[in-house]
Amino acid sequence: MLFSSSALIPQFLQALNHTLNPKKAEAVSFASPVEPAKPALSTTSQLLDQPGWSIGFYPKAHSKARSLISAKDLQHGDPKFLSLGAQVTIDRLYLPSKYPLQSLNVSIDYQPTELVQTIKVCAWSYCANGLNRSPATSLFVPVKAGKGLTLTMDWLVAGSLETGSIVHQLAVGSGQALPKLQRGYYVIAGRRQSTGDFPQWNTYHSIPHSEISDSSVLKHIDLRAKDASPIDFPYLLLSVDYGNSPTV
């Protein structure tokens, strides 16, 4: 009887090993084939969420503070713009790698002195195919009390028929829960790809001109994160100064 049991043990172990053979698991995959598309879908939804953009500000006047602040945190706008108007320069658009922005149009509300009605002027545009990509552009804009400087951004998401639109008003005066109009640089930014949140502006700073090696590329402001992390959000850079005489 003992001999019979010993003879069965190797057969039992062989059957058990065959049942638990790990090679059988090699044909089973738990990875979803659509998983790599999730970041793109997330970024697409970020472009369509409202509000779709946040505005950081860096003063044009010499300042010891190198960090940007939210334009909404400015205490007041500059009333000198009411008499001098504003010279608005749209410098450039920065996009992270493979960012699904198909097109962007920037329009500015403009009211010539001879007209009562405000008109919307397309000041700058971008298209991903490169056929319609505006260079840096500058224009004079009259500034009216109660309206400030108003610009509209309209964009199209790649691979989608959905569009987004937002109106930014830079206010003159104080007490309004709006970005304020001052001489300086405005960074209009979308959400971060890594977190889905807007940039925390006090964690980004400007590089002084003396530290910029290629001023033709980094014309006015170079955006850097304090922790040296890459800039993972799109932003439109524009500068605002006092106007002189109308050019339109």
In a domain, 97, yes or no: yes
Identify the three-state secondary structure at position 71: helix
Identify the three-state secondary structure at position 243: coil
Which pLDDT does position 44 carry in this prediction?
Answer: 59
Which pLDDT does position 14 carry in this prediction?
Answer: 53
In a domain, 21, yes or no: no
Residue-by-residue pLDDT tens, the chain, 248 positions? 444 444 544 454 454 444 444 444 333 222 333 333 334 445 656 555 556 789 999 888 765 657 889 999 999 999 999 999 999 999 889 888 888 888 999 999 988 777 778 889 999 999 987 666 678 899 999 998 888 999 999 998 887 777 889 999 999 988 778 899 999 999 999 988 888 889 999 888 776 554 444 433 334 466 777 777 788 889 999 999 999 754 44
Which pLDDT does position 47 carry in this prediction?
Answer: 58
Q: Where in the sequence is the domain holding 179, given as residue range(s)?
A: 37-242
In a domain, 161, yes or no: yes
Which pLDDT does position 85 carry in this prediction?
Answer: 94
In a domain, 157, yes or no: yes
Alpha carbons 137 and 121: distance in angstroms, whole number: 13
Distances (CA, A) of 145 to 83, 103, 137, 176, 185: 10, 32, 25, 13, 21
In a domain, 106, yes or no: yes
The predicted-structure confidence for 112-162, as pLDDT tens digits, reads as follows: 777 778 889 999 999 987 666 678 899 999 998 888 999 999 998 887 777
In a domain, 95, yes or no: yes
Nearest-10 Cα torsion for 220, 215, 105, 186: -10
On whether the CB atoms of residues 161 and 99 are closer than 8 A, the answer is no
Number of domains in the chain: 1
In a domain, 155, yes or no: yes
In a domain, 4, yes or no: no
